[in-house]
Amino acid sequence: MVQADTKKCIFVVEDSREIQFLIARLLKKAGYEVICANNGREALERLRTCDPTPGLILLDLMMPDMDGYEFRCNQEKDSKIANIPVVIMTADREIESKAMKVGAKAFLKKPFTNVADILATIAAFFPNA
């Protein structure tokens, strides 16, 4: 069972180990607890055993095994994890429409160019932290 402080915990779902590592390092340095998964299927399995659940999911859309779209369909059907807000991470040019399509609360454009923007986007989901 994964133990997490909901107020300061972020779940990163990203198939690139390098991006996972960089995001986790950045977020840990900013005081967040970070949990990572390599694809949507792994993320669903881990999220269903987290207690308490993370306060935010950073989700890549294009991943092997189960992509971000299928993950979101499954997340929305599971009452334990359905209400966790999602921030989409993608290099797709149509990021805004893709984020709306999957019901994401915000998005981060890859490649990441501004650390302050990443942290500000995430901090908006943790107002009391």
Half-sphere exposure of 24 (CA within 13 A, CB side): 15
Half-sphere exposure of 92 (CA within 13 A, CB side): 14
**This model's pTM is above 0.85:** yes
DSSP state letters, 90-114: E--TTHHHHHHHTT-SEEEESSP--
Can the peptide bond before residue 127 be classed as cis, meaning omega within 30 degrees of 0?
Answer: no
Predicted pLDDT of residue 3: 41
Predicted pLDDT of residue 30: 95
Calculate the dihedral angle through the C-alpha atoms of 20, 122, 3, 81, rounding to the nearest 10 degrees: -100
Q: What is the pLDDT along the chain (129 residues), one digit of tens a residue?
A: 344 445 689 999 999 999 999 999 999 999 999 999 999 999 999 999 987 689 999 999 999 999 999 999 999 999 999 999 999 998 878 878 878 888 899 999 998 999 999 999 999 999 876
Angle CA 128–28–31, to nearest 5:
30
Predicted pLDDT of residue 4: 44
- Amino acid (one-letter) located at 57: I
Domains of the chain: 6-123 (3.40.50.2300)
